């Protein structure tokens, strides 16, 4: 599904290398977690995959089902099936949540040469999916993320994911700023979307999110590289020994 090889990335505006050769392969239907200390390059990886400006790939490749992600515009990556759940979802005043989602759904369909979704079908689907995530009608009508609590914003990200039906979902610190109940709700939403054809890359500092979203593979990232890969137990090891312990072990 997602294949990253020897990815080197630096900031465009300063000569600072952030990713120093990332290798990662996520198979179809798998859930991979990336853990790592602050500044290890986790969020940068998510931004580079989704095409945010400000980064320069100096070496390496990233493909989604064989297609070169790095050559595509952000909207093309989305249409190809990539989704990034933001750590800080953006507020967009004056644009209704539902209007925005419908625009996005139909833009992706159009880009893939598919028929647009009728407003009736869209409404039916979004209502059902919103209900599962405990998102009420008012939240659907309100401007995108405006006045939403931290939990509501993250649930809204998962709702977008559910509506856009991507094949590769990258979750960037989705647990940040969430209380235990909110995290469980978000995790349930993600779990409901797990399927054979859909893969996840879950970026997090803490092991607790992984109690709810059980990963198949856990990677530890440090200083722009994946330094250790293991099963779900690796996350527990982080919890017990901290990153310092693991990094010392690897050094």
Partner 1 sequence: MALPQPKADATAARTAALRMPEGAKWATAAREEALSRVNAMGLPGRRDEYWKWTRPESLVAPDAPEAAVFDAGEAPIFGEIDSVKLVFVDGVFDPAQSDDPSLGGVEIERLGDAAAADIHWAKDLFGVLEARGQSPVPRTLAALNTAFAAEGVVIRATGKAEKPVALVYHHGAAASDAMVHHCIRVESGAALSVLESGPGASRFSKVMEVEVADGGRFDHIRVQGRDHERRTMTHVFARLGAESVFKSFTLTMNGVLTRNECVIEFTGDEGVAHVAGASVGDGDFHHDDTVFITHDALDCESRQVFKNVLRNGATGVFQGKILVKAGAQKTDGYQISQALLLDDDSQFLAKPELEIYADDVACSHGSTTGAIDETALFYLRSRGVPKAAAEDLLVLSFLAEAIEEIDDQGIAAEILSRLEAWLARRR
For the CB of residue 52, give the shortest distance to partner 1 in the complex, in Å.
5
Residue 62 vs 247, nearer CB to partner 1? 62
Residues 6 or more apart whose CB falls under 8 angstroms from that of 65 comprise 1, 80, 81, 167
Residue 111 vs 192, nearer CB to partner 1? 111
For the CB of residue 200, give the shortest distance to partner 1 in the complex, in Å.
16
Estimate to the nearest angstrom the gap between the alpha carbon of 139 and the chain centroid. Answer: 22
Residues 6 or more apart whose CB falls under 8 angstroms from that of 28 comprise 1, 167, 196, 197, 198, 199
Residue 161 vs 182, nearer CB to partner 1? 161
For the CB of residue 170, give the shortest distance to partner 1 in the complex, in Å.
10
162 CB-side CA count, 13 A: 25
Residue 189 vs 215, nearer CB to partner 1? 189
- Report CA-CA distances (Å) from 148 to 87, 91, 190: 14, 9, 20
Binding site for partner 1 (CB under 8 A): 50-53, 73-75, 77-79, 83-84, 86, 89-90, 92-95, 100-101, 103-105, 107-108, 111, 143, 160, 164
Distance in angstroms (rounded) separating the CA atoms of residues 98 and 55 = 31
For the CB of residue 101, give the shortest distance to partner 1 in the complex, in Å.
8
């Amino acid at each position: 599904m997602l294949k990253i090889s020897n990815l080197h990335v630096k900031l465009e505006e300063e000569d600072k290398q952030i990713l120093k050769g990332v290798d990662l392969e996520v198979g179809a239907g798998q859930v991979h977690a990336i853990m790592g200390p602050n500044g290890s390059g986790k969020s940068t990886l998510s931004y580079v995959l989704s095409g945010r400006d400000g980064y320069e790939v100096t070496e390496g490749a990233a493909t989604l089902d064989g297609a070169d992600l790095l050559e595509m515009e952000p909207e093309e990556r989305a249409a190809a099936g990539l989704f990034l759940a933001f750590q800080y979802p953006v507020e967009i005043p004056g644009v209704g949540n539902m209007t925005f989602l419908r625009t996005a759904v139909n833009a992706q369909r159009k880009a893939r040469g598919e028929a647009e979704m009728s407003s009736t079908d869209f409404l039916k689907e979004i209502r059902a999916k919103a209900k599962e995530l405990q998102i009420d009608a008012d939240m659907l009508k309100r401007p995108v993320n405006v006045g939403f609590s931290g939990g509501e914003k993250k649930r809204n990200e998962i709702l977008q994911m559910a509506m856009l039906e991507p094949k590769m979902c990258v979750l960037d610190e989705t647990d940040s700023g969430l209380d235990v109940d909110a995290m469980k709700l978000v995790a349930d939403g993600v779990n409901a979307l797990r399927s054979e054809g859909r893969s996840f890359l879950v970026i997090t500092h803490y092991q607790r999110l992984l109690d709810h979203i059980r990963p198949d593979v856990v990677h530890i990232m440090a200083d722009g590289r994946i330094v250790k890969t293991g099963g779900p137990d690796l996350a527990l090891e982080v919890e017990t020994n901290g990153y310092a312990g693991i990094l010392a072990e690897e050094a």
